[in-house]
Amino acid sequence: MDVRIYYEDTDAGGVVYHANYIKYLERARTEYFRQHGFFVAELAEAGFVFPVVRLEINFKAPAIHDDLLSVSTRPIRVGGSSVTLDQKITRQHDNKLLIEGIVTLACINPAFKAQRIPLDIRQMLETELVKEI
């Protein structure tokens, strides 16, 4: 997924405000699932919600106004009711790695109880996992 950096994304120092990277990672996860035929709103309506339960970010270098970034997402672990994703943000013009993120999502029901990831999503994630090996 591509992200263009606008003035509103930056702080007083002219670099992307750190919390905005979390938004970019969230958007990329949503788009990752969309590209594989799974829509967050439809999953929620069916009783499957995937909140972030763990987030680890390593800030390597800053992005600045007008940079064009690429955000990648790939599964690195699929459990019964959780999935861990590796996410990276790179600047396109020099392919510089800016952000490394590890995000764990839990699969829960509307009552906030853990439940198994639906089989079709699990199969997609496991297929994507195998592609990376």
pLDDT tens, position by position, 34-78: 999 999 999 999 999 999 999 999 999 999 999 999 999 999 999
Range of the domain at 10: 2-132
- Judge whether residue 128 has pLDDT over 80: yes
Residues 6+ apart with CB under 8 A from 45: none
Give pLDDT tens digits for 75-105. Answer: 999 999 999 999 999 999 999 999 999 999 9
Torsion of CA 105, 39, 48, 53, to 10 degrees: 20
How far is Cα 120 from Cα 133, in angstroms, rounded to an integer? 21
- Judge whether residue 133 has pLDDT over 80: no
What's 21's domain CATH number?
Answer: 3.10.129.10
- Judge whether residue 132 has pLDDT over 90: no
Average pLDDT, the chain: 96
DSSP 7-55: GGGB-TTSBB-HHHHHHHHHHHHHHHHHHTT--HHHHHHTT-B--EEEE
What are the residue numbers of the active site? Answer: 11
The total domain count for the chain is 1
Which H helix or E strand runs over 130?
A: helix 119-132
Give pLDDT tens digits for 17-42. Answer: 999 999 999 999 999 999 999 999 99
The one-letter code for the residue type at 17 is Y
What burial class does residue 128 get, using C-beta atoms within 10 Å of its C-beta: 0-12 exposed, 13-18 middle, 19+ buried?
Answer: middle
